[in-house]
Structure 1
Amino acid sequence: MKLRAVAALGLTAALALTACGGDATEEATNAETTAAAEETSAAADESSAAAEETAAGSDLSGELAGMGSSAMRVAQDAWTAAFMAENPGVTVSYAAEGSGAGREGIQNGSVQFAGSDRAFRVDENQAGAFASCAADSHVLNLPVYISPIAVIFNLEGVESLNMDAATVAGVFKGDIAKWNDPAIAALNEGVELPDEFITIVHRADDSGTTENFTDYLSQAAPEVWDAEADGMWPYEGGQPAPQTDGVKNAVASGQGTIGYVDASAADGVGIVSIGSEGNFFAPEPEAAAAAVEASPMVEGTPENDLALELDRQSTEGYPISLVAYAIACQNYEDQATADLVKGYLTFISSEAGQSLAAEQAGSAALSAGLRDQVAASIESINA
């Protein structure tokens, strides 16, 4: 009997423990279910917020056409694709036909915005001169793309060279005719330079890259380069080629060739480092950004215009850079066009847009201060 009593007590205890364990398991399961439900709810809220944000960013609709700087082609390709992905109702096109074509396009009304490696000058930026804009509107020059201009060459067995400003000017003017000229050899000790003529490749079209390049030469080597800065190549001779890709392809497919392109197009060819007195610098975007940051605004420009006066004679870092501008109307004929232009330019000049260009094109991002100035100018665009 005692054994039966003990056994009964043990069985009762075991059942009690089992019941307690079942309650604990159920409570744990319920807690996990509750936590999972809360997590799912939070995820749903987050998805809803993201959807609302996407929807808010997709209110824009319509078609937007731009034209201009071929130096910006890689960046513009990335920007247009990303912007249209975020705004499914919008179609943005950009024809990289050269800076001169872009400026002409906003003047004749064929595009709503332009890209140019040089700004409209003060005397050009007059109200009523732009068919894309409202009748009483001038345009805004907004810096959105900063990049070095690379001096590229194709010479068998040679991947890199050093040149100072006077040597670059002498080569592109035609005063230095052969690769083994003493001026080049003196800056490249130990490099075997052939007794071979130099073939100059330059832009055939009206080019902001050419204007920036010749601006550098006229400022940094005025004793050699006696032509003014200009978008059209100032000297006779050489091999003309259209747009950035045309110059790159002509240099790459030739022998003994030399040219100048946006650094985003400088892969697969030799690159010249620029400097003096033993300090030579490759075309790095950070150096170009530093030069732009130190440059003042052009005096006498209209309100909200951000054209820059670049200092070409800096001895710190790579000195040949370009700033490409998005050129938009201060006022458009209709608000829908103004909103499309504002939306697109806000994206490309944003931190995200600048990071995308840096990743895809190797450009330098705008500084935070310059980015804020651009944002304020874009905000002023209206009908």
Structure 2
Amino acid sequence: MSFPTLSTLRRIGIALAALVAICSAALWSTALPAAHAASYPRLSGDGSSWAGNALNDWVTGVKAQGVTVDFNPDGSSQGRANFANGLSDYAVSEIPYKGDTADPQDQSFPGFGYGMLPVVAGGTSFMYNVQVNGKRLTTLDLSQAALAKIFSGQVTQWNDPIIKATNPGVNLPAQRITVVVRSDGSGATAEFTLWMKHQFPADYAKLCAKTGGCNASSATSYFPYQHLTNFVAQSGSNGVTTYTASTPYTINYDEYSYARGVGFPVAQVQNAAGFYTVPSDTAVAVALTQAKINQDKSSANYLSQDLSNVYAYKDPRTYPISAYSYLIVPTVTHGSFDTGKGSTLAYFGTYALCEGQRTMGALGYSPLPMNLVLAAMDQVSRIPGIDAATASTIAATKKGASTGTANPCDNPTFKPGDSPSVNQLVKTAPFPAGCDAACQAPWTGIAAAVNDGPGTKGGKKHGGGTTLQPTTSTASTAPTAAAGTGAGTGTGPAAATTGAPAAVAASVACDPDTGICSAPNATGDGTQLVANPTVIDGSSTWGPAQAALILSGIVAVLLIFAPPVVARALDVRRRQRLAATGPGEDAEADPDGDGSGW
């Protein structure tokens, strides 16, 4: 009987290892959509710098797959105008062209069919640069009333009583506040002034009256800073961020991602429950469960947002100034936008909605809830020229989400088996320190984690929404007030929080230079909200990537340990044969001379 030689076995082993490696690569490749780079023409778009870091992340992602998409973060107003005038293939904006939340200064409107689709969520933060006794102030608590008065020019000193009231024990400097605002038309400004108009109409009216740069009856994309001597205007999110980082005693407004990018602190803003939060991915996700989504498919503003219920939401975990940002896309060919560009735009939009959501938390944004991802994919399907590969990806995503058998996009907000409208980030969002078990009870469970929008079952409907509020008075329990004027004297709806408990108890020790305070002792199991967002792995199913990972590990183990084990076994067999036949017959027993004895 003939047996394969050791050299033959080695060749077979190498071939098997190569085959397994090829299979592993094939399995890995199924986790990514095919790029078809050669068939995707180059795209150009512009708009929101608020969402600019998210767009740049996606542009880099598709570039690695051979697809070139350009994006210029020149502001939402310019982006909307360029898109309407046919100067760009797509736009990014936080507000629509028309409607209650639109900017009345917009004069350019698309003369062709278009659609809006949400692509990312985030929070408008307030980055500041303040030093106390030579140290950077790293913890600053601000009530919403204080923000309204700072940004309307009524509070101009860092040691103003309304700021001191929420920062007990901190030696706030007797320095003028330099307020840094956007000089260009921006969605960040539109969302911020919309909040001010809704929550603090008297302060917003004073801003408009003093500057002459806005109408108190509507929000504006162009921040009015005329005649305000302590205000400085800079272009773009990078402009206000750079100026604030390099100039002492400044404060600005923009998406949280920018402050994180330069390592500067942002103010902890007091929410309607009396707790101070930053716009982490979870805090934004909690807030946006209260966003009312336009579900009228015949409307040009389909899927646009109404944030009126977000601002005063009383969940202790919420960040009150949160919003969605939108991709604006053509639904017909026009001008230079043909079906070739449409195929690229559909691919890019699908990438942003699927793979692109995985990194949003770490970047300073919050990923879209799955029900809005699915609704946005329906909008992508309307883009002329969408190719079969992209359409297949959308179909697979919708099937996996609807059947509950998979999480095709590995979206952190989604858990297979739950409704796509249930946001996992909300279910797992930590409560702030000082929120005890009684405080937490009304805000736990499925009901508090449901997002409005298409696919919502038995919950929120367009027009009415569902604003969850505490079922008992204990839900608004917060740390003891450090001072009686914590929330200021705003005249809008938020004024109801006047005298609300501050986030820092009077008995808590605070560093007078940095503002860092020891956390108050929670009487329940509340955990401290921190500035660093956490990205939660949304995948709980077995897929190609997991199989490939295990298979690759097995191959690595075999390649390391199999050769010496096989060689040792063959050597033992050769020695046994040699002992039985004698040294004179060794050559005949080992005709190949490889030591195998076969």
* TM-score for both structures, normalised by structure 1: 0.82
Tell me, yes or no, if structure 1 residue 244 matches structure 2 residue 237: yes
Shift of 1:47: 4.1
CA distance in 2, matches of 1:243, 1:82: 23
**Equivalent residue letter for 2:276:** F
Higher helix share: 1
Q: Which residue of 2 aligns with 1:344?
A: 348
Q: Is the 8 A contact 2:76 2:94 kept in 1?
A: yes
Decide whether aligned partners of structure 1 residues 189 and 343 sit closer, same or farther in structure 2, where only a CA change above 3 A counts: same
Q: Which residue of 1 aligns with 2:588?
A: none
Tell me, yes or no, if structure 1 residue 104 matches structure 2 residue 108: no
Residues 18-56 of structure 1: CA distance to partner in whole angstroms, max 9, x if unpaired? xx9xx77x4887667545534433433454676799894
3-state SS in 1 of match to 2:127:
strand
Larger relative contact order (C-alpha < 8 A, sep ≥ 6)? 1
**Equivalent residue letter for 1:332:** T
Q: Which residue of 2 aligns with 1:40?
A: 18
3-state SS in 2 of match to 1:271:
coil
3-state SS in 2 of match to 1:189:
coil
3-state SS in 1 of match to 2:244:
helix
Q: 1:275 aligns with which of 270, 295, 299?
A: 270
3-state SS in 1 of match to 2:311:
coil
Residues 303-343 of structure 1: CA distance to partner in whole angstroms, max 9, x if unpaired? 58321112322233111123211110122232212111111
**Equivalent residue letter for 1:329:** P
CA distance in 2, matches of 1:216, 1:51: 45
Higher strand share: 1
Shift of 1:301: 6.2
CA distance in 2, matches of 1:278, 1:142: 33
CA distance in 2, matches of 1:65, 1:162: 41
Q: Which residue of 2 aligns with 1:94?
A: 71
CA distance in 2, matches of 1:61, 1:198: 49
Decide whether aligned partners of structure 1 residues 171 and 242 sit closer, same or farther in structure 2, where only a CA change above 3 A counts: same
Q: Which residue of 2 aligns with 1:10?
A: none
CA distance in 1, matches of 2:313, 2:235: 30
Q: 2:305 aligns with which of 305, 308, 318?
A: 308
CA distance in 2, matches of 1:294, 1:278: 18
Q: Which residue of 2 aligns with 1:364?
A: 366
Residue ranges of structure 1 left out of the alignment (5+ in a row): 1-19
Worse-superposed segment, 100-109 or 303-312 = 303-312
Q: Which residue of 1 aligns with 2:596?
A: none
3-state SS in 1 of match to 2:276:
strand
Worse-superposed segment, 137-146 or 293-302 = 293-302
Shift of 1:289: 2.1
Residue ranges of structure 2 left out of the alignment (5+ in a row): 206-215, 386-598
Shift of 1:225: 2.7
Decide whether aligned partners of structure 1 residues 337 and 282 sit closer, same or farther in structure 2, where only a CA change above 3 A counts: same
Tell me, yes or no, if structure 1 residue 257 matches structure 2 residue 250: yes
**Equivalent residue letter for 1:372:** L
CA distance in 1, matches of 2:36, 2:305: 33
Decide whether aligned partners of structure 1 residues 260 and 129 sit closer, same or farther in structure 2, where only a CA change above 3 A counts: closer
Q: 1:212 aligns with which of 162, 177, 191?
A: 191
Q: Is the 8 A contact 1:177 1:198 kept in 2?
A: yes
CA distance in 2, matches of 1:186, 1:44: 65
Q: Which residue of 2 aligns with 1:79?
A: 58
Decide whether aligned partners of structure 1 residues 32 and 114 sit closer, same or farther in structure 2, where only a CA change above 3 A counts: same
Q: What does 1:1-383 align with in structure 2 at a 5 Å threshold?
A: 26=4, 34=12, 36-47=14-25, 56-58=34-36, 60-86=39-65, 88=66, 90-122=67-99, 129-130=109-110, 137-157=112-132, 158-226=137-205, 227=216, 228-236=218-226, 237=228, 238-267=231-260, 268-275=263-270, 278-298=274-294, 302=298, 305-310=302-307, 311-316=310-315, 317-333=318-334, 334-350=338-354, 352-359=355-362, 361-382=363-384
CA distance in 1, matches of 2:59, 2:344: 12
CA distance in 1, matches of 2:280, 2:383: 33
* TM-score for both structures, normalised by structure 2: 0.54
3-state SS in 2 of match to 1:266:
helix
Residues 71-94 of structure 1: CA distance to partner in whole angstroms, max 9, x if unpaired? 2222222211211221x2x32111
Q: Is the 8 A contact 1:155 1:270 kept in 2?
A: no
